[in-house]
Amino acid sequence: MLTKLIPREQVNSIYEIELDTLWKQGYRGIITDLDNTLVGAKAPLATPELLDWLKVVGQIGFQVVVVSNNQRARVSRFAEPLSLPFIYRAKKPTLVSFNRAMRMMSLKPEQTIMIGDQMLTDVLGGNRLGLYTILVRPIELADEGFFTKVNRRLEKAALKIMKR
């Protein structure tokens, strides 16, 4: 079970991801978390740096779907101005939203990348389906919700066990 919490790759931010390499390896779609992955948990809109990154992602040819456990108002306010498809109240790590996102892109697990900042939601859900999982360092920890704070403590405990 603990092995399902281990991402294929770990980076400080999305900007460190080797997009060209992943494209050459056959990946064609990105499922990405929103809060603390693309922007801070309370940031309503994309930053100029993120806009540039999304432009590169699109130029390479990747499709993107935002999959968030957050509410519709939060996710739509972020994703709609960018014309990004999204799934809200995703209930990650359950597989329903991951499968739905892949159907939206007409892709298979072996063609799909999952990017997120939490092992217990993003990495676990992606690994259960065989996606290429990338764990990013959270953008900011101060404004996280109750359940995210609980997840972070559980992640710390899991990491200690895995190190043994």
pLDDT digits (tens, 9 = 90+) for 79-131: 999 999 999 999 999 999 999 999 999 999 999 999 999 998 999 999 999 99
> Could you tell me which residues are beta bridge partners of residue 135?
10, 116
Name the strand (E) or helix (H) holding 31: strand 29-32
Between CA 115 and CA 14 the distance in angstroms is: 8
pLDDT digits (tens, 9 = 90+) for 24-80: 999 999 999 999 999 998 889 999 999 999 999 999 999 999 999 999 999 999 999
Handedness of CA 68, 69, 73, 74 (dihedral sign): negative
Concatenated DSSP letters of 23-58: HHTT--EEEE--BTTTB-TT--S--HHHHHHHHHHH
Q: Which CATH class is domain 2-60+87-163?
A: alpha beta
What is the pLDDT at residue 140?
79
Contacts of 24 (CB under 8 A, 6+ apart): none
pTM over 0.85: yes
β-strand pairing of 132-136 with 9-11: parallel
